[in-house]
Amino acid sequence: MAAAKFSIKTTSPFFLVLCLTVFLFFTLSCFADPDELQDFCVADLNATTILNWFPSKPVSEVTSNDFFYSGLVKEASTANPLGLGVRLGDVNNFPGLNTVGLSVNRADFAPGGVIPLHTHPRASEAVFIIKGEVLVGFITTTNVLYSKVLKAGEMFIVPKGLVHLISKERWTGEG
How many CA atoms lie within 13 Å of 142's alpha carbon, on the beta-carbon side? 2
Give the residue-averaged pLDDT of 62-83: 94
166 membership: H or E segment, kind and range: strand 163-167
In this structure, what is the dihedral angle of CA atoms 160, 164, 170, 171, given to the nearest 10 degrees? -110
61 known ligand binder: no
Give the residue-averaged pLDDT of 154-159: 94
> Taking a C-beta distance cutoff of 8 angstroms, is the pair 44, 54 a contact?
yes
> Which pLDDT value is given to residue 48?
80
Residue 119: which region, alpha, beta or left (left: phi > 0; alpha: psi -120 to 50)? beta
One CATH from 2.30.110.10, 2.60.120.10, 2.160.10.10, 3.30.70.2190 for 111-175: 2.60.120.10
120 known ligand binder: yes
> Which pLDDT value is given to residue 75?
93
Which residues of the chain form CATH 2.60.120.10? 111-175
118 known ligand binder: yes
125 known ligand binder: yes
> Which pLDDT value is given to residue 175?
45
**For the chain, what is the mean pLDDT?**
84
Higher pLDDT, 131 or 35: 131
> Which pLDDT value is given to residue 35?
63
**Residue 60 to residue 64: CA distance in whole angstroms:** 12
Give the residue-averaged pLDDT of 16-25: 67
Q: How confident is the model at residue 52 (pLDDT cuts 50, 70, 90)?
A: low
143 known ligand binder: no
Residues β-bridged to residue 155: 128
Quick one: which of 104, 95, 100 has its CA closest to 58? 95
> Which pLDDT value is given to residue 119?
93
